[in-house]
């Protein structure tokens, strides 16, 4: 398992044709790559108590939640996850929310790896395009 600092959390929701992004100011947070067979991650967000009802409502809907996060530092590109809430806990004047999910951007990384390998094997131009179509 690998653990990273969770720097930013946004909940992404679809209402009709609109996409609503809700930024959740964090007091602290962790994100853990479980490195299991399902490629699951655990996100722990620690925030003000004022967000309790919002997350209790999301938890009760028992549906997948799309989140966008920044890991380690604010300047990093955001990563998108499909998650579900596995726990909402009151801790004094704060709330701890636990999510479990999978990263959406992983597919892009796999494609980049395959493309790099093909280039290293010497494919280029039309031959590279043909080979990429075969592999995909």
Contact 30, 47 (CB under 8 A): no
Domain locations in the chain as residue ranges: 2-104, 106-136
Q: What is the pTM of this model?
A: 0.75
pLDDT recorded at residue 124 = 77
pLDDT in tens, the chain (136 residues): 899 999 999 998 866 656 788 999 999 999 999 989 888 999 999 999 999 999 999 999 888 999 999 999 989 988 989 999 999 999 999 999 999 999 986 556 666 777 778 888 887 777 777 776 676 5
Instruction: Estimate the crossing angle of helix 125-135 against helix 106-120, to 10 degrees.
Output: 130
Give, as one character, the DSSP assignment of residue 27: S
Contact 28, 98 (CB under 8 A): no
Q: What are phi and psi of 105, to 5 degrees?
A: -75, -5
The dotted CATH code for 2-104 is: 2.40.30
């Amino acid at each position: 398992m690998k653990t990273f600092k969770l720097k930013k959390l946004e909940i992404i929701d679809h209402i009709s044709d609109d996409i609503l992004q809700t930024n959740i100011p964090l007091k602290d947070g962790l994100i853990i790559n479980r490195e299991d067979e399902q490629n699951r991650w655990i996100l722990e967000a620690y925030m003000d108590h004022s967000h309790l009802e919002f997350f209790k409502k999301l938890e009760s809907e028992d549906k997948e939640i799309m989140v966008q996060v920044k890991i380690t530092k604010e300047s990093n590109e955001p990563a998108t996850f499909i998650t579900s809430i596995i726990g909402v806990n009151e801790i004094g004047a704060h709330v701890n929310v636990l999510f479990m999910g999978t990263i959406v951007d992983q597919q892009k990384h796999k494609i980049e790896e395959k493309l790099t390998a093909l280039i290293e094997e010497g494919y280029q131009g039309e031959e590279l395009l043909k080979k990429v179509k075969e592999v995909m």
